[in-house]
Structure 1
Amino acid sequence: MPVDRSDLADFTYFLAISKHRSFRRAGIELGVSASALSHSLKGLEARLGVRLLNRTNRSVTLTTAGEQLRDAISQPFDAIGHAIEALNNFRDTPSGRIRLNVMQDAVPLLLGPVMPTFVDRYPDVDIDLVVSNRMVDVIEEGFDAGIRYGGTVPQDMIASRLSADFRWVVAASPAYLERFGVPIHPDDLRSHRCLRLRLGNDRIYQWEFDKGPEHIEIDVPGSITIDESGAAMAFVRGAVGLLFVAEPIVAPLVERGELKLVLEDWATPGPGFYMYHPSRRQIPTGLRLLSDLIRELRPMGL
């Protein structure tokens, strides 16, 4: 059966759907609507004369024919993508599109300071940025890479450091400390109002403290649980409670006297930001350029 141009486009759509098992997520990666993907796949199945996908309201799975087609065409299409990406070596200005999943804290601390320079240098590189503290599978969700704190990077990924390490500290507003007192030892937190932290994997974080050989973990009390830094900062500035936070986030507020640090002699060092990506994928040129620029400008040291 001869292959026409529409088949080639539909094969690309089919591969994205087979990877994500979702028309919606495949559409996000490709920049097309889920309905357009559905129409494309119906046309491809009609031309081929076989069903490639089993579709329900809840799931998308490959048929046996779909699995065979995916296995047969994945490698050639990957090779085409790599060849197109390699053309950046011959362009005066690199181009392309990269999709990043970035935790919220990295935006103002890491990306904000470098983006003006990046868009000036590489105006033809488009960045699709999704900001989320939730742990996501960057492969399944169609991202080229993610940026997270080093201690939370999945172990099966290739990770590269983007910042120096920094301390995790406890911050409070002067008004809170005047009303409720200053904790001297981590155990004192059990009688304080604390802003509890929900991690990207939905686990409630137990605050960790180190002093010499001593290590303490405390499931702090508090009526508010937060998974977003903006809300946490608003609450700690409003004297709602104590906050366990990366020091660079609160450093400007501490310098201006809007917040104070407590339990500083128990502050815990932690890994900085890392960029991570699947080991089996070629790194897109735009992603490499962004990583190199962060290391060049070093907005958080390195």
Structure 2
Amino acid sequence: MTPDEHAARFTLLRPLLFTIVYEILGSATESDDVLQDSYLRWAEVDLTTVRDAKSYLARLVTRQALNSVRASTRRREDYIGPWLPEPLLVDEHDASADLVLAESVSMAMLVLLETLTPHERAVFVLREVFGFDYDEIAAAVSKSVMTVRQVAHRARSHVHARRKRFEPVDAAEVARITEQFMTAATTGDTVGLLSLLAPEVTWTADSGGKATAARRPVVGAEKVAAVLVNLFHARRPTSDMRIEMVNYSNMPAMVAYRGDLLEGVFLIEIFGGRITNLYAIRNPDKLATLMVPRRISR
């Protein structure tokens, strides 16, 4: 077999492989590293021994992703403030017509998956999102089929008990709410913001201690409105901040620039016609790659 054949098979499946690893890790940057390492291992494989490239590569990248989780545990423990998954700048056609894929890469689901153990997360993702058989998953996570079935049941129950009912929000409603939100935030219209925010809305900011941000989640419409007015209105007259609307992980987001420097990405979660969560990515290490478009698949 030639190197071109290895590359062709890997390239064909790369969007799928990236999505598997990303949903296990919650980090696009770390996922790129895992795929690079996985490809080097794949390039040494005798393809005549591979009956199903998809199953083989899914097993390979899952193992490497779990290794990456173990290596990053200390970094997560030492992280300053909340750690949020990296949102994806994706082609909306990759996921918008696939409700399972759309939910699986949403910030709400990724944050929920963070509450699972690494093996629970891998098993849940491989089974519930990608539909792999239990024996394939068992080989990927190096556990027995019986154990994998138990882990899958436990993870499924955990996720279903805590997630909101996922529904694609009407595009026109999203546009209306986000436009009103952006106007209210940038003009300091507290009353307007309160009309858009759910009573228990939560603001979560990920800065890693490298940018100005709340070190703990802020909960409650009035408190979150005050944060928004301070960030997008009070500071704006003294700066050259500009804001653009972008879609991240199938969620509307405000992208803030100071000159040409990306200052933050602010994702807006809408449920029941109100904004229920705001996720602020301020860590410059994460911002460095957030504008890189990603292809996902399942």
After TM superposition, is the score higher than 0.5?
no
Q: Which has the larger Rg?
A: 1
TM-score by length of 1: 0.28
- The TM-score normalised by the length of structure 2 is 0.28
Greater share of strand residues, 1 or 2?
Answer: 1
Q: Which has the higher helix share?
A: 2
